[in-house]
Amino acid sequence: MDVEQSLVAARTVLEGLHGFQYRLPGQDEVYEQLAVKVQQGLVGEMILVNGAPGSGVTSCLENLARSYPRQCIMLQSNLYHRDMTLTDRVCDAISMHCESESYKEPPAWLIEHAKLTGLKFLILDDLDEYIVCAKDIDRIMYEVSALVGWRGAFTVIVSTRSMKLIRRFIKYNSPKQRDFWVDGIVSLDKLDAMGAEFFHWNNQLLKLNIRWGGELQKIKYDFDFQIDSVMKFFELSYATKMIPTLKSELYSIRDGLSSEALHYELLQILYQ
């Protein structure tokens, strides 16, 4: 592998494009419970999937949408179309949105489409992206309730980091409401084995032989143990160990850096 290939490979790892996935028991538990609902076609529910930042909530929902493309629609929050209602976004996702019409509640034809196709599970990740001002919270809750309650056509699965939305969701207190918490914490005793697995995966991908070992002692523990932070730590560690393969005196890295400082130095090296 020449210098340019090494640079490309290191960037691939650092940017998270390596394809390595590690699902924790807490993530699997939530995913499996959601999957059962999809398999059984349990519609008419409002489901909140929540977790600490970096716990893998988005990954869990994306995995559900990928696994059940015939039943699930993952809606996109297009920042340039703030005036679109949630029902409008559902219509847009199935390529049946007319810009001259806007729906606050699902029209009869959309309900019929859901029955005929089986696309009855709507996933709205990071619902706070749909909120610009305080009054949007009432509007969003009304629109979610309309999709859930209108003839029981859909189940809506949402995630949010907005405490106002979470409190409103809990206050909604419907018998059709469900809450799931994603536990994305990586236990310390599993960290070493997970790191070795990550290195092995990338060695296979890049046809390299970079060994895992000693990383936990070299870099300061200035990150939490949520799965996303741990994955960034592994990416930093692997990319750092690739630096000597560049075989150039220009590429050197200091010891004892915080993960944030290390990430900045790697960016300087890999993208200069």
DSSP per residue, 205-263: HHT--PPP-SHHHHS---S--BHHHHHHHHHHHHHHHHGGGG--TT----SS--HHHHH
The mean pLDDT value for 224-250 works out to 75
- What's the Cα-to-Cα distance from 152 to each of 36, 45, 75, 260, rounded to whole Å? 18, 8, 19, 48
CA–CA separation, 146 and 93 (whole Å): 18
What is the CATH T-level fold of the domain 25-182, as seen in this structure? Rossmann fold (3.40.50)
Query: pLDDT of 66-80, one tens digit each?
Result: 999 999 988 876 655
Predicted model pTM: 0.75
Q: Helices (DSSP H) in 150-208: which residue ranges?
A: 163-172, 188-206
Query: pLDDT of 194-233, one tens digit each?
Result: 889 999 999 999 888 888 876 665 555 555 688 888 888 8
For residue 191, count CB atoms less than 10 angstroms from its CB and return exposed for 0-12, middle for 13-18, buried for 19 or more: middle
Between 25 and 102, where is the model more confident? Answer: 25
Domain residue ranges of the chain, discontinuous segments joined by +: 3-20+186-270, 25-182
pLDDT mean across residues, the chain: 80
**Proportion of the chain above pLDDT 90, given as a percent:** 14
